[in-house]
Amino acid sequence: MPKLTINGREVEVPAGTNLIEAARALGVEVPHYCYHPGLSIAGQCRLCMVDIEKTPRPTIACNTLAADGMVVLTETERVKETRRSIMEFHLINHPLDCPVCDQAGECWLQIYYMRHGLYDPRMTDEKVHKPKAVPLGPHVILDAERCILCSRCVRFCDEVTGTGELGIFHRGDQSEIGLFPGQELANKYSANVVDICPVGALTERDFRFAVRVWYLDVTKSVCPGCARGCNVEVHVNRRRPHHNEGRRVARLKPRFNADVNKWWICDAGRYGFKAVDDKTRLREPFRREAGTVTDASWDEAIAAVAGALERYAPDEVGVLASPRMANEDLFALRRVLERRGIRRVAFRVPPAVDGDQDEILIRADKNPNARGAELLGLDGDAAALLAAARARQVKCLWIFDHDLLASAWPEALVLGALGAVETLVWVGANANATSERAHWVLPAAAWVEREGTYTNFEGRVQRLRQAVEPLGQALPEWEILGRVLEALGAGARPPRAERWFRELAAATPAFAGLSYQAIGDGGQMVRA
Amino acid sequence: MRALQRFYLVEVLSGVALTAAHFFRNMGRHAAHALGKKDARGAVTIQYPDERRPYSPRLRTLHRLVRREDGSPRCVACMMCETVCPAHCIYIVAAEHPNPEIEKVPARFDIDVGKCVFCGYCVEACPEDAIRMDTGILEFSSYTRGGMIYTKEALLALEPAGPDGHPRSPIPIPADRTP
């Protein structure tokens, strides 16, 4: 453990730590472009120069390992002058198109220019022109003029995905980032190059010109796209509703979690938020009788559901929970089942196509909380439940979120079961072919509109946080189930997701000792 | 209040005396002017809107969008004006420009003049000199809130004011208002 002094303060860091990370441990920022903790060291940008005692010249911090007794100074006049000169060099051919650049506002070139720049450029020659607005693949667009050739994107494709689509071509001031011939930047993690690009050279096609970044509000959350549960930031646009065609969620960005997703997220997860502002979203509870739809209030809907649960014998009720529901929802559902003694419950519906999986992040199970549903004891035989409905043993079927008609089950069997039940209750956020056949449809809040927790495949419990208000009258499932529980005479329901979780942690051994405080931003493992 | 002011008639008479003094003084000046004494100038009424006072060149009037040579807007939809606007009266939606050198154009550029406070920050903030408040147009009124919203097409059609500061383009009159 080398002990060194940075700007007069002592710090002890693990052996092999470079000076950027050592300074970061002290809260000292060393400006840099090409260094990224998730990638190899390139030493391309030369911006991270620091003064080290007994060395004659400033040295790059990214490629200098902390050593015992080292004395480092990051803010001397010589270092500042070096940074200013390097900034000037980077800006020689950088176009002044910040007004049209999507990166403006979160651009490190802008930030360090404002901090260290020479405000009056000495460069009078014509800038070198390079291709602009070139699509590299389905998600990424390149502006070669804005590129400062830090090579982070090249290293990402070489080292993280191993696909190697990108390279730096030509020499000197003609150098530019580009695709190898015949290649397309279409790997499953391609949009991560946008996040790591310190300037506006690589931007997202999906987010292009949608919203200026300074209008966005950020909420920490978890991606619901697969069992990995990558940590994300949800960027929502509440201040300028006329932008982005009124869609509230503008984009997702990965959030660093050393134990789950590091710095990355897959493209399927990144662009999986479209359902939130989709036109299939349900806004009001309604009932369907003989094909006619009538709007209903929540009180009527809850009374109808509770009435059905009481009217039928416990054995005549089947519940198909969803592994897309949060732990709190599933626990509230378990309470309802326990109250009525309902035994027919399941949550696994086989998908029509098997999910893809890889060694990086993507999991075959595309549900965020299958492990949580297992731990809460809701696992059962879904196919048997469907068969019982077909055989008219189950008269009331309560489905959460699933679209059985899009599953691997044959359509005729599903339609037979859905047609056979007397009461079909469906709860979910987006209408689908199954909800089209339900007698009662209850709108649930989408994952960005509510609080909750998911348990990922490893057993890590992670928090969802509310980024926007629910659409229309939609409610989180724990609230819907809490109201049903009250209507069944169970007493006052917990008013918040956190209180539901507290009850869940007290009642379930796997979750014992967990709380929202303990989970924090990084998540906590369940027991065993 | 002084004791004298409590008497109604005294105050009325002093008011009438003041008005009458102005009237006769101006009548005398106008008469002297008509009789050839050209430096005697009585008070005059400007026959607005047929006559106008000269406007200051710095006067901030209705906005216009500056055009490129081909008639398309100079605006690149950078949202600087929308961001700086303290009244939140500018609504821009960006779109792709076929020329990658320009890259970005406004698909929609609406100003709700009913909300505008005429601070001129949008003009200050614009990096492209694409919005100006130099049309000289002051007469925009409407019977509805919707009539106060000026679209990109309306703003692009406006010309800068003449050298005396008076408008050169017709005043855009909303459909719900007859002149």
Residue boundaries of the structural domains of chain A: 3-91, 100-277, 286-525
> What angle is formed at CA A415 by the lines to CA A413 and CA A420, rounded to 5 degrees?
95
Query: What backbone phi and psi angles, to 5 degrees, belong to B61?
Result: -120, -165
Which CATH number is A100-277 given?
Answer: 3.30.70.20
Query: Pairing mode, if any, of strands A286-289 and A292-295?
Result: antiparallel
Q: Identify the domain containing residue B91 by its residue range.
A: 64-156
C-alpha B148/C-alpha B87 separation (Å) is: 14
A3-91: CATH topology: Ubiquitin-like (UB roll) (3.10.20)
Residue A528: per-residue pLDDT: 67
- Please judge whether A212 and B91 are an interchain contact, meaning their C-beta atoms are less than 8 angstroms apart: no
Q: Answer whether residue B83 is part of any domain.
A: yes
Least CA distance to A101: which residue of chain B? B78
* CB-neighbour burial class of residue A426 (10 A; exposed 0-12, middle 13-18, buried 19+): buried
C-alpha A187/C-alpha A271 separation (Å) is: 14
Q: Nearest Cβ partner of B78 from A99, A133, A215?
A: A99
Question: What DSSP state is assigned to residue A50?
Answer: E
Q: Which residues of A touch B91 (CB under 8 A)?
A: 242
Q: Nearest Cβ partner of A243 from B76, B93, B127?
A: B93
C-alpha A119/C-alpha B175 separation (Å) is: 49
Structure-block tokens of residue A369:
């909380």
Q: What count of CB pairs under 8 Å joins A to B? A: 36
Q: Which residues of A touch B104 (CB under 8 A)?
A: 100, 209
- Among A107, A208, A209, A240, the residue to mutate for chain B (most B Cβ within 10 A): A209
Q: Nearest Cβ partner of B127 from A99, A208, A242?
A: A99
Q: Nearest Cβ partner of B79 from A132, A133, A212?
A: A212
Q: Which amino acid is at A225?
A: G
Q: Nearest Cβ partner of B103 from A132, A214, A215?
A: A132
Measuring CA to CA, which residue among A272, A265, A141 is closest to residue A205? A141
CATH of the domain at B143: 3.30.70.3270
Residue B50: per-residue pLDDT: 82
Cβ neighbours for B103, distance < 8 A, ≥ 6 positions apart: A97, A100, A132, A133, B76, B96, B97
Q: What residues in chain B have their Cβ under 8 A from chain A's Cβ atoms?
A: 76-80, 82-83, 91, 93-96, 100-104, 108, 127-128
C-alpha A475/C-alpha A249 separation (Å) is: 18
Residue B178: per-residue pLDDT: 65
The CA distances from residue A125 to A85, A96, A122, A329, in Å, are: 17, 14, 9, 64
Query: What backbone phi and psi angles, to 5 degrees, belong to A417?
Result: -70, -45
Q: pLDDT 10s digit of each residue in chain B, 179 long?
A: 678 778 889 889 999 999 999 999 999 999 999 998 888 888 888 888 888 888 888 899 999 999 999 999 999 999 999 999 999 999 999 999 999 889 999 999 999 999 999 999 999 999 999 999 999 998 888 888 888 999 999 999 999 998 888 889 888 877 777 65
* CB-neighbour burial class of residue A110 (10 A; exposed 0-12, middle 13-18, buried 19+): middle
- Nearest-CA distance from A244 to chain B in Å? 8
C-alpha A440/C-alpha A396 separation (Å) is: 11
Neighbour count for residue A331 (Cβ, 10 Å): 24
CATH architecture of A286-525: 3-Layer(aba) Sandwich (3.40)
Measuring CA to CA, which residue among A147, A131, A253 is closest to residue A199? A147
- Nearest-CA distance from A104 to chain B in Å? 10
Whether the link from the prior residue into B49 is cis, omega within 30° of 0, is yes
- Among B91, B104, B111, B126, the residue to mutate for chain A (most A Cβ within 10 A): B104
Residue A388: per-residue pLDDT: 95
Residues B138 and B72 in one domain: yes
Residues B152 and B94 in one domain: yes
Q: Answer whether residue B121 is part of any domain.
A: yes
- Please judge whether A100 and B95 are an interchain contact, meaning their C-beta atoms are less than 8 angstroms apart: no
Give the start-end residues of each E strand in B114-174.
131-132, 149-150
C-alpha A395/C-alpha A411 separation (Å) is: 20
Q: In what order do the strands lie in the sheet with B104-112?
A: B90-96, B104-112, B149-150
Chain A stretch 250-309, residues whose beta carbon is closer than 8 A to a beta carbon of chain B: none
- Nearest-CA distance from A305 to chain B in Å? 45
A119 interface with B at CB cutoff 8 Å: no
- Among B83, B99, B152, the residue to mutate for chain A (most A Cβ within 10 A): B83
C-alpha A244/C-alpha A235 separation (Å) is: 12
Q: Token match 């055009």: residue?
A: B67
Residues B30 and B74 in one domain: no
- Please judge whether A240 and B82 are an interchain contact, meaning their C-beta atoms are less than 8 angstroms apart: yes
C-alpha A375/C-alpha A385 separation (Å) is: 20
Give the start-end residues of each E strand in A314-416.
317-320, 344-346, 396-400
- Please judge whether A100 and B77 are an interchain contact, meaning their C-beta atoms are less than 8 angstroms apart: yes
Residues B71 and B144 in one domain: yes
Which secondary structure element, helix H or strand E, spans residue A196, and what is its range?
helix A192-196
Residues B68 and B147 in one domain: yes
Query: Pairing mode, if any, of strands A396-400 and A423-428?
Result: parallel
Residues B109 and B29 in one domain: no
Q: Answer whether residue B55 is part of any domain.
A: no
Residues B16 and B70 in one domain: no
Query: What backbone phi and psi angles, to 5 degrees, belong to B65?
Result: -100, 130
| Cα four-point dihedral sign A467, A471, A477, A478 | positive
- Please judge whether A243 and B83 are an interchain contact, meaning their C-beta atoms are less than 8 angstroms apart: no
Percent residues over pLDDT 90 in chain B: 63
Q: Answer whether residue B78 is part of any domain.
A: yes
- Nearest-CA distance from B62 to chain A in Å? 23
Least CA distance to B109: which residue of chain A? A242
Question: Do A486 and A505 meet the contact criterion of CB atoms below 8 Å apart?
Answer: no
Measuring CA to CA, which residue among A419, A429, A438, A415 is closest to residue A468? A429
Q: Nearest Cβ partner of B103 from A100, A131, A242?
A: A100
Measuring CA to CA, which residue among B178, B89, B72, B94 is closest to residue B133? B89
Measuring CA to CA, which residue among A305, A367, A312 is closest to residue A332? A305
Question: Do B111 and B155 meet the contact criterion of CB atoms below 8 Å apart?
Answer: yes
- Nearest-CA distance from B128 to chain A in Å? 9
Question: Do A454 and A260 meet the contact criterion of CB atoms below 8 Å apart?
Answer: no
Question: Could you tell me the end-to-end alpha-carbon distance of chain A, in angstroms, rounded to an integer?
Answer: 33
Query: H/E/C letters for each residue in A478-514?
Result: HHHHHHHHHHCCCCCCCCCHHHHHHHHHHHCHHHCCC
Q: Nearest Cβ partner of A209 from B80, B96, B102?
A: B96
Helix A477-487 / helix A298-311 crossing angle, nearest 10 deg: 60
Residue B1: per-residue pLDDT: 65
Which secondary structure element, helix H or strand E, spans residue A440, and what is its range?
strand A440-443
A214 interface with B at CB cutoff 8 Å: yes
Structure-block tokens of residue A84:
């200013």
C-alpha A358/C-alpha A368 separation (Å) is: 16
Cβ neighbours for A222, distance < 8 A, ≥ 6 positions apart: A229, A230, A231, A232, A368, A454, A462, A463, A464
C-alpha A151/C-alpha A43 separation (Å) is: 10
C-alpha A66/C-alpha A297 separation (Å) is: 65
Q: Answer whether residue B161 is part of any domain.
A: no
Residues B92 and B29 in one domain: no
User: Complex ipTM, two decimals?
Assistant: 0.86
- Please judge whether A208 and B96 are an interchain contact, meaning their C-beta atoms are less than 8 angstroms apart: yes
Q: Which residues of B touch A131 (CB under 8 A)?
A: 100
Question: Do B133 and B120 meet the contact criterion of CB atoms below 8 Å apart?
Answer: yes
C-alpha A489/C-alpha A302 separation (Å) is: 12
Neighbour count for residue A486 (Cβ, 10 Å): 14
pLDDT beneath 70, residues of chain A: 528
pLDDT in tens, A292-317: 999 999 999 999 999 999 999 999 99
Number of domains in chain B: 2
pLDDT in tens, B33-51: 999 888 888 888 888 888 8
